[in-house]
Amino acid sequence: MDEQLKAFENTLYFHGTKARLAVGDLLQPGFKSNFKDITLKHIYFTGTLEAAKWGAELATAKGEEDQERIYIVTPLGDFEDDPNVTDQKFPGNPTRSYRSTAPLKIVAELADWERHSDEEINKMLAGLEALRAAGKDVIID
């Protein structure tokens, strides 16, 4: 399935999450961050399956029984590069990470995708914890 999606990645947008939603539902700002205890003014999404996987995996990483989900979405308003990724980690936005104050409409759920290994996820979680411990877990929202 990943190979077929790669052919469409330049035209699709994804949102990785633990939320159980349906086609036609709207994702909107105003929910808690998966990374920090703050309510977000933006809804975040990506143009790459890789970044969406991380979003889904990190959303469920707190040990909860929630299922990882990736939705294919359509932005319903203006959006911009996500400064948390593009300004801080990946200048030029190679992860195609975006944010919007307008809703995203769910057009499909991606049911078949390959997770990162537990080792890769744990390494990412350790990196996020190190940022937290150093006071560098800033979210520009």
Is residue 141, in this structure, part of any structural domain at all? no
For 69-117, the pLDDT digits (tens) are 999 999 999 999 888 776 666 677 777 889 999 999 999 999 889 999 9
- Up-side HSE of residue 91: CA atoms within 13 Å toward CB? 0
What Cα–Cα distance (Å) separates residue 50 from each residue in 14, 31, 55, 86, 117?
Answer: 10, 23, 9, 15, 13
- Domain span at 44: 2-133
For 119-141, the pLDDT digits (tens) are 998 998 898 888 888 877 767 76
Task: Indicate whether 1 pLDDT > 70.
Answer: no
For 15-72, the pLDDT digits (tens) are 999 889 999 999 999 887 766 778 889 999 999 999 999 989 988 776 666 789 999 9
- Could you tell me the CATH number of the domain that includes residue 22? 3.20.170.40
> Any idea what the Cα angle at residue 102 is, between residues 18 and 86, rounded to 5°?
75
Mark out the alpha helices in the chain (DSSP H runs). 2-8, 49-59, 83-86, 118-133
Is residue 138, in this structure, part of any structural domain at all? no
Is residue 36, in this structure, part of any structural domain at all? yes
CA distance 47 to 52: 8
Is residue 123, in this structure, part of any structural domain at all? yes
Is residue 139, in this structure, part of any structural domain at all? no
Is residue 12, in this structure, part of any structural domain at all? yes
Is residue 140, in this structure, part of any structural domain at all? no
Tell me the backbone φ, ψ of residue 110, rounded to 5 degrees: -85, 105
Residue 43, token pair as written in the block: 């809804």
- What's the pLDDT at 32? 77
Per the structure, how many domains does the chain have?
Answer: 1
Task: Indicate whether 8 pLDDT > 60.
Answer: no
- What's the pLDDT at 109? 95
pTM, to two decimals: 0.81
What Cα–Cα distance (Å) separates residue 18 from each residue in 6, 10, 63, 108?
Answer: 23, 24, 12, 15
